[in-house]
Amino acid sequence: MRKYLLNILFLVIVFQFTNGQVVLTADGPGNTYQLINSVFANTNRNVVEVPDCNHSDFGDHIDEVFDTDLNKNVFRFHIHVSSDNDRCKKFDRQRNEIKSYSDSPENLKAEKGETVEYKWKFKLPEDFKPSSNFTHIHQLKVVGGPYASIPMISFTLRKGNPDKLELRYTATKSQKTLKTVDLNLFKGNWVEVTEYVKFDDVGSYSVVIKTISDNKEIFNYSNSPMDTWQDGAEFARPKWGIYRSLKSKEDLQDEIVKYADFSINEIKDLYSVDVLKEKAERILLTSNSSSEIEFKNVDGFNLVELFDNSGRKIDIENKIDNSKLDVSGFTKGLYFLVFKKESEIVKVLRCYVK
Please write the tens of the pLDDT for every residue from 291-326: 788 887 788 888 888 888 777 788 887 888 878 888
Portion of the chain with pLDDT greater than 70, in percent:
90
- What SS3 string covers 150-182? CCCEEEEEECCCCCEEEEEECCCCCCEEEEEEE
In CATH, what number is assigned to the domain containing residue 76? 2.60.120.200
178 and 138 in a common domain: yes
Which of the two residues, 14 and 288, has the higher pLDDT score? 288
Q: Which domain holds residue 343?
A: 273-353
Are the C-beta atoms of 136 and 93 separated by less than 8 Å? no
Q: Of 239, 266, 293, which one is at a domain's C-terminal end?
A: 266
Give the model's confidence band at 129: pLDDT under 50 very low, under 70 low, under 90 confident, else very high.
very high
292 and 261 in a common domain: no
pLDDT at 339 over 80: yes
190 and 48 in a common domain: yes
Q: What confidence tens digit (pLDDT) does each residue in 197-242 have? A: 999 999 989 999 999 999 999 999 988 889 999 999 999 999 999 9
Q: What is the pLDDT of residue 272?
A: 65
Q: What is the pLDDT of residue 269?
A: 56
* Residue range 94-108: mean pLDDT, rounded: 89
214 and 157 in a common domain: yes
CB burial readout 62-86, b (16+ within 10 A) else e: bbbeebeebeeebbbbbbbbeebbb
Are the C-beta atoms of 212 and 191 separated by less than 8 Å? yes
Three-class secondary structure of residue 17 per DSSP: helix
Are the C-beta atoms of 196 and 228 separated by less than 8 Å? no
Q: How many helices (H) and strands (E) does the chain have?
A: 3, 23
The per-residue pLDDT of the chain, averaged, comes to 87
> Cβ contacts of residue 223 below 8 Å, gap of 6+?
178, 204, 205, 206
Give the model's confidence band at 289: pLDDT under 50 very low, under 70 low, under 90 confident, else very high.
low
Record the pTM: 0.76
185 and 86 in a common domain: yes
Q: What is the pLDDT of residue 241?
A: 98
Lowest mean pLDDT among 74-83, 204-213, 267-276: 267-276
Gap between the Cα atoms of 71 and 190, Å rounded: 12
144 and 22 in a common domain: yes
Q: Of 249, 266, 283, which one is at a domain's C-terminal end?
A: 266
106 and 239 in a common domain: yes
Q: What confidence tens digit (pLDDT) does each residue in 37-68 have? A: 999 986 678 899 999 998 999 999 999 999 99
Number of domains in the chain: 2
135 and 88 in a common domain: yes
pLDDT at 194 over 60: yes
Which of 111-115, 253-257, 281-285 has maximum average pLDDT?
Answer: 253-257
Q: What is the pLDDT of residue 14?
A: 30
φ/ψ of 43, rounded to 5, equals -60, -30
147 and 39 in a common domain: yes
299 and 211 in a common domain: no
In CATH, what number is assigned to the domain containing residue 301? 2.60.40
Q: What confidence tens digit (pLDDT) does each residue in 6-37 have? A: 333 333 333 333 346 889 999 999 999 999 99
Q: What is the pLDDT of residue 273?
A: 67
Q: One-letter amino acid identity for 55? A: H
122 and 15 in a common domain: yes
Q: Of 248, 266, 284, which one is at a domain's C-terminal end?
A: 266
Gap between the Cα atoms of 27 and 30, Å rounded: 9
Give the model's confidence band at 102: pLDDT under 50 very low, under 70 low, under 90 confident, else very high.
confident
DSSP 227-286: ----TT-SEEEEEEEEEEE-TTGGG---EEEEEEEEEEEE---B--HHHHHHHEEEEEEE
Three-class secondary structure of residue 11 per DSSP: helix
39 and 176 in a common domain: yes
Length reported for the chain: 354
pLDDT at 85 over 50: yes
Q: What is the pLDDT of residue 351?
A: 84
